Amino acid sequence: MKLLKNLLKEPAFVFGVCLFSLTILLALLGPLFVKINIGSEYLPYIQPGSEGLALGSDHGGRDMVSMLISGLQNSLYVGFLAGIIATTLGTFLGVYAGFKGGFIDNFINMVTNLFLVIPSFVVLLLISSSLEGGRSLQLIAVIIGFTIWPWTARSVRAQTSSLKSSEHINLARVNGADTFCILTKHILPYLLSYVFMVFIIQVASGILQEASISMLGLGPYDSVSLGIIMNDAMRNEALGDGAWWAFVPASMLITSIVFALYALNTSMEGVFNPALRK
Amino acid sequence: MPNKNVIFEAKDLVKEFGHGKTHNVVLKGLNFEIEDGEIVTIVGGSACGKSVVAKHLLGFMQPTKGELFYKGKKITNQRDHWQTVQPIFQDPFSAFNQFFSIRSQLEDSFKVLYKRPSRAEIKERVDAALLAVNVMPSDLKEKFPFELSGGQMQRMLLARIFALKPQVLIADEATSMVDACVRANILDYLMKLKKELNMTIVFITHDIGLAYYVSDRIFVMHDGGIVEHGTPDEVALHPKSNHTIQLLEDIPDIHKDWIKRKRA
């Protein structure tokens, strides 16, 4: 409760929560107010906004508002799925390596470093370009999740190994707790706030990564995402046509989601870390 | 040896850390015996290796060379060892998990035992242990570690020992983080434990004054070796080693002065 009170005192937190909730609400409640129409009935090409067509249509004759809402849904979905995968994997490996130490620690560290030095975006591009046929939304999310975990693993490992020497861990050991119990009951609760912050950043980075590969034309085939809207606009030279509505709203949405998540993250750091409190 | 019931026996105990430039020999061939039912104090300045000895006695560490026997056997399985040997830690503030109530953690400590008492008996034993350290069980109810003071937490660590009733207690600097008043209190409880359960207590401290009052035997450590050992009177009144003399001289003068005046 006190934590929440402190958080609510941070303007950046309130701002981040509001902005992020707005985008979530738009994605969830949008379809209730707007009839989603993507390709079911074609409209005239590149129409500017008018009555009944708030943001006009794109080069494929599709309603931009519908495109944005379902693109937002899919982008958030990819971001959260990738964030969950990366955070779970990174936290698990980091906690285990940090606690076990020795050979296991060295080995996991080596793998983590290997993933860190290989530019993950290139790997992402290579994998998605080699998956011509079935590049679904889920698959893209999984691939992103599996390429962005190393930073989580690394920072969680560092936190765990400093926590390991704390006396409550020794007490748990002489109380007969096994490794699993120590990790889940005596280490993870101490890391939860940190892991949550990492999760937020991973979601943001999942959304950005998806937008980047979709923009390059390697996104999911079967659905619309914010990155794909940008890719369509780029391919059809919307800029040259002066059709700003084809790419400005999508890029603004991406920017505001990521900005909201980063604002949340930095404001939480100030509250969770007492040394940074004013 | 007849008439002697040795429970800990160390033979040329050596502990080394690191390699190459960071190589460090912390214990340089220790030989000692601790008998059943006695209070042994290991005294020494900082970095003399006394805490490392404690970690060996608890089974947290294995010696690099030499052997350490507990009741004639090497310590191979930590869980077996903790059935009868339990610690009190130095820092009461970090000794408990902040996310669970003290009571639940005290009850959890029975998990180490292979022969676990019934839930009702655990509850009873925890209540009795709390009363033994002068805490009303009703006062503790759902208290969390951060709601207690350092002295109270140290008493909770003692309550844990009262509840588990181990044969051997390793107290590593158990009183160094609490104020003088609480310290006297804790020493009283330790003596009570010793009297009630005939427990063997290995006390680890830098305070030779405290060692003098509580122990049956004192080991003085310096730089990874035992430089002197004997009864408190032998060590404190007729010290042979320079390091012991140094430790004795480091007892605050104001205290000595006060005793002198009181006697005069």
Give residue A194's pLDDT.
86
The SS3 call for residue A27 is helix
Chain position carrying tokens 């007892």: B251
pLDDT band at A131 (very low <50, low <70, confident <90, very high): confident
B189 falls within a domain: no
B91, B99, B111: residue with CB nearest A175: B111
**Residue in chain A nearest B145 by alpha carbon:** A168
Q: Quick check: is B131 in a domain?
A: yes
Collect all residues of chain B within an 8 Å Cβ-Cβ radius of residue A173.
60, 78
Give alpha helix (H) positions in A148-275: 150-164, 167-174, 179-181, 188-215, 226-235, 238-241, 248-272
CA-to-CA distance for B120 and B51, rounded, in angstroms? Answer: 37
The ipTM (two decimal places) reads: 0.84
What residue of B is the nearest CA neighbor of A182? B97
Fold adopted by A65-260: MetI-like fold (1.10.3720)
**Interatomic CA distance for residues A44 and B64, integer angstroms:** 82
Q: Which two tokens stand for residue A170?
A: 């020794």
Specify the pLDDT at position A135. 76
Residue with tokens 């009363």: B131
- How many domains is chain B built from? 1
Residues of B in contact with A166 (CB under 8 A): 94
> Is B144 within 8 Å of chain A by CB?
no
DSSP state of B227: E
Number of other CB atoms surrounding residue A270 within 10 Å:
18
Q: Is B150 touching A (CB cutoff 8 A)? A: no
Please write the tens of the pLDDT for every residue from A172-218.
988 888 889 999 888 888 888 888 888 999 999 999 988 888 888 77
Q: State mean pLDDT over A80-105.
A: 92
Instruction: Mark which residues 51-70 of B lie under 8 Å from A by CB.
Output: 58, 60
Which residue shows structure tokens 């990819």?
Answer: A78
Query: What is the mean predicted confidence (pLDDT) over A11-15?
Result: 87
Enumerate residues 6+ apart whose C-beta is below 8 A from B248. Answer: B208, B236, B239
pLDDT higher than threshold 70 for residue A170:
yes
pLDDT greater than 80 at residue A241: no
For residue B100, the enclosing domain spans 96-165
Nearest to B96 among A171, A173, A177 (CB): A171
Residues from chain B that touch A170, judged by Cβ atoms under 8 A, are 60, 87, 89
A141 to chain B, closest Cα gap in Å: 34
- Spell out the residues 6+ positions from residue B241 whose beta carbon is closer than 8 angstroms to its own: B220, B222, B227, B228
Band the pLDDT of A275: cuts 50, 70, 90: low
Residue A168 is nearest to which of B78, B90, B95, comparing CB atoms? B95
Residues 6+ apart with CB under 8 A from B250: B208
Average pLDDT over residues A4-33: 84
Print the SS3 string covering B5-48: CEEEEEEEEEEEECCHHHCEEEEEEEEEEEECCCEEEEEECCCC
Q: Is B90 part of the contact surface with chain A (CB cutoff 8 Å)?
A: yes
pLDDT score, position B254: 66
Is the model more confident about A31 or about A43? A31
Q: How confident is the model at residue A86 (pLDDT cuts 50, 70, 90)?
A: very high
So what's the pLDDT on residue B2? 46
pLDDT value at A82 more than 70: yes
Number of H helices, E strands in chain B: 11, 10
Strands B39-44 and B65-70: unpaired
Q: How confident is the model at residue A134 (pLDDT cuts 50, 70, 90)?
A: low
pLDDT over 70, % of chain B = 97
Residue B141 located in a structural domain: yes
Q: By a Cβ cutoff of 8 Å, what residues of chain A touch chain B?
A: 166-168, 170-177, 185-186, 189-190
Q: Which carries the bigger pLDDT value, residue B36 or residue A273?
A: B36
Put simply, the answer to whether A167 touches B94 (Cβ < 8 Å) is: yes
Q: Where are the domains of chain A?
A: 65-260
Q: Which pLDDT does position A277 carry in this prediction?
A: 55
Task: Please identify every stretch of chain B with a pLDDT value under 70, giving residue numbers as ranges.
Answer: 1-3, 253-256
Higher pLDDT: A237 or A18? It is A18
